[in-house]
Structure 1
Amino acid sequence: AHLTADRVRQLEEELACMRRYLEHLTLAGTDGRNRRFDNDASEVSADPADDADTDHDDEEAALAPAGAEEAELRAELESTGAELAEVRAEADAEEAKKSALTAEHQQLQHAYSELKRQLFLLDEELSATRNQQAYAESELNRLQNTSVLGAFHIWYDAHIASIGGFRMGRPAGGQIDWAELNAGWGQCALLLQAVSHRLGFASTVYTVVPCASQSEMRLLATGRSLPLYSSHGRLFSDSAFDSGMSAYLSCVTELLAFVRDRYGKDRLAPYPLHPPKEIEDSGQRFAIVRAGNKDERWTMALRLMLLDIKMLQAWMSTEPELLQKKRQTSGLA
C-alpha cells in the first residue's frame, strides 16, 4: 500500500509536468506565429503571393518538430493518465483491504481481550477450587483419623457416671432433673447404634431408635416401642421406662456376646450383665429398673453399665480389624 501511494504521487507529478510542458509548447508556437505575422505585415512584398507561400512553408518547417513533440507528449500524457487511473484503482483496492484488515484486527483484539478476561476469571475460579479441594482433603483426613465413638465421652466417679456431659442416675443428695436423664439415655441409644453399625452387629430381638430425649427400644417381633425416657417419675410411665431400660441392657448383653464369638473377647466387660435387669459388681447385683429399687442402687447400675460400654469403646479404638474397616469407610461408621 505504501509503494502504491508513492507510485500515485510520482505519476501525478509526471502528469503535471507534461501538462505544463505541453502548455508551454502551445504558447511558444502561438507566439512565434504572431511575431512572424507582425513582421510580414510591416513589409510590403513586390509579389504578395510568392511571399505568402514562402512564409507558409517556413512556418510549417519551423513548427513540424514542435508538433511531433507535442503529439508524442500527448500520447505519453494519455498513457500516463491511464497508468495513473490503474494505480489509483489499485491504491483504492489496497486501502479497502487495509480497512478490512484493520477492522479484523480490532475484532480479533476485542476477542483476545475477552478471552484474556475469561482466563483471568477461570484462574481465580481454579485457585478457589484448589483451596476448597485442599480444605476438603484436610477435613477428610481429619475425619478418617477421628472415630465417631469419641463423641460419646463417658465420665465417672465413685458415685455416678455421665455420657456426653449428661449425668445418669439420681444419687443421694443430688438433684438431677428428668430432662438431663432423658438426654443421657438419648446419648446411650445413639452410641449403641454407632457401635452396632461399626461391628456389624444386629440384635435378634430389639432395634434401637435414637431420638434425642425421646429415644426408644423397639421389639422386632411386634414393633412395640419401649421408651428410654420418663415423664417425671409417674407410675405408669416408669413401668414402660423400666421395660425400655431392660431392653437396652439385654441388647448390650447380646452385643458383648457377639464380640466374644466374633473377636474372641470373652472378658471384655469388667462387670457381668445379667439380663433382663441386673449388673454384678463384687458379688452384688444392681437392678437397672426403678420399680422396687432405690435411687442410689439404680444410679450404681447405670454407672456399671456405662463403664462396660466404655471398655468396649476402648477396645474398638485399638482393634486392628476395626481400624482397617474405619479407614475403608472414611471413619464415618
Structure 2
Amino acid sequence: MDKEIEDVTADISVYKACLQRLEQESYNILGEIDFQKEKQKIEEEEEELKAAIEEAEKKYAEVASEMKGLETEYIEFEQSKERYWQEFNSSQFQLTSQQEERDAVSAKIEVSQVHLDLLKRTNVLNDAFHISHDGEIGTINNFHLGCLPDVKVEWDEINAAWGQAALLLHTMAQFGRGQWFWRTQFDDAMKTFLTCLREFAEFAMSLDKENNVPPHKSLKLPYKIDGDKVRGHTVVRCGNTEENWTRALKYMLCDLKWVLHWFVNSTSFCAVVDIKE
C-alpha cells in the first residue's frame, strides 16, 4: 500500500507540473472571420493538393502506359533479334559452305589447269621416241646405239636403234607445217643419216632466223656435225674403234634430241603419226 501511495503521489506531481506549464503558455484564439479565412485557405490548399494528386496520377497512368508499350516493343525487339541471329547464322553457314565449295572447285580447276598445261607440253613424238643413254652408250626407245669392249650389244639391237632414229627424223621431216623440209630418201647408211640430221638442223636454224627467234631460244646443236663426224668423232664403223664410234653415236643422239625439242616447241604436231612402209 505504501508503494502504491508513493507511485500515485509521483504521478500527481507530474500532472501538476504539466498543468502549470500549460497555464503559463499563451494561446491566440481566432475570431470567426479569421477562422473562416484560415479554413478557406486550408480548403484551397487541399483542392490544389487534390488537383496535383490527380495530375500526378494522370502522369503516372501515362508513364505506366508508355512503359507497357516499351515492354511490348522490347519483347518484339528481342524476338526480332533472335530471328536475326538465326538468319545470320544460317546465312553464315551457307556462305561458309559456298566458300568451301568454291575453294574445292578452284582446287579442281587448278589441278585441271596443271594437267592441261602438261598435256599442252606433251607431244606424241616425245612419248614415241625416248632418247637417253646407258652410261657411255646412247639409247633410243631403250635400244642401244653402239657398243664397248666391256659392253657387248647385239647388231640386231643396234640396227633397231638406227631404225628408230631414222624413223624419228623422217617423221619430223614429213609432218611439219607445209613443206618444212625437202624429202630426203633415207638409206641405211650412217653417214647419210648424219647428213640428213645436219640438213634438218640447218633448215630449222634458218627458220628461227627468218622468224626472228631470239638467239637464246633458237636451235643450236650441242655437238657440231662436220661430214661424217660429230664433235670430231666419226660415225663410220670401218677402221674406227668401238669407243670412238659409240661416242659419236651418243653425240649424234644428243643432237637428235635437241632437234626433237625444237620441233615439239615450234610446231603444232600432236597427232599419232602413221608411217607406211
Q: Which has the higher contact order (CA 8 A, sep 6+)?
A: 2
Normalising by structure 2, report the TM-score: 0.48
